[in-house]
């Protein structure tokens, strides 16, 4: 029998971060700002049907999120993540993970980094389809000219994450 997903609601700089992890390999399968139950609904049926069980505060993912919240802005980089999507989406998400904390990129720069410089809208769509915020940091992707663009969890959350990472000045 396949074990249930580990479920976390972890303090983060803005609001609680819901995270779901497969216990057999420690891979984050979904994460976002809101309860883990919301993240569960975004997963494919095979993962959803596994259900959840609470994860522990000493688990590696929980420790990485705590370190990120405490100011270690590289703590999430070492966490293994996986989400479904074709080759283009995987390239965009890999390029997104390469944008370091404290820096931003435009949708055009993201498309170019993914090897498809004309696929700017598709790169934006990959941001919208990202199941792994903030591990895959779509909040670091901005419009050309510096506008925030959109964000699944609201522009206030995006601003606060960028402020936490030193990209935006304090209010």
Tens digit of each residue's pLDDT (9 = 90 or more) over 78-131: 999 999 999 999 999 999 999 999 999 999 999 999 999 999 999 999 999 999
Q: Which region, left, alpha or beta, applies to residue 133 given φ > 0 means left and ψ of -120 to 50 means alpha?
A: beta
CA distances from 112 to 20, 109, 118 (A): 31, 5, 8
- Enter the pTM of the model: 0.94
Q: Annotated catalytic sites, by residue?
A: 138
Beta bridge partners of 20: 7, 30
Angle at 56 between CA 49 and CA 4, to 5 degrees: 15
pLDDT average, residue stretch 38-67: 96
Res. 146 pLDDT band, cuts 50 70 90: confident
pLDDT average, residue stretch 70-78: 96
Shortest CA distance to 127 belongs to which of 111, 145, 144?
Answer: 111
What percentage of the chain exceeds 70 in pLDDT? 98
């Amino acid at each position: 029998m396949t074990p249930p997903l580990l479920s976390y609601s972890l303090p983060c700089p803005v609001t609680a971060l819901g995270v779901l992890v497969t216990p057999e390999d420690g891979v984050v399968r979904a994460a976002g700002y809101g309860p883990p139950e919301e993240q569960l609904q975004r997963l494919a049926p095979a993962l959803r049907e596994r259900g959840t069980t609470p994860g522990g505060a000493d688990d590696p993912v929980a420790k990485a999120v705590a370190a990120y919240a405490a100011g270690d802005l590289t703590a999430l980089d070492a966490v293994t993540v996986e989400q479904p999507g074709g080759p283009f989406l995987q390239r965009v998400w890999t390029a997104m993970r390469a944008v370091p904390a404290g820096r931003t990129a435009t949708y055009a720069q993201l498309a170019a980094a993914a090897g498809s410089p004309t696929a700017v809208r598709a790169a934006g769509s990959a941001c919208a389809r990202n199941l792994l915020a903030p591990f895959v940091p779509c909040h670091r992707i901005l419009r050309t000219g510096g506008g925030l663009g959109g964000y699944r969890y609201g522009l206030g959350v995006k601003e606060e994450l960028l402020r936490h990472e030193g990209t935006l000045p304090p209010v």
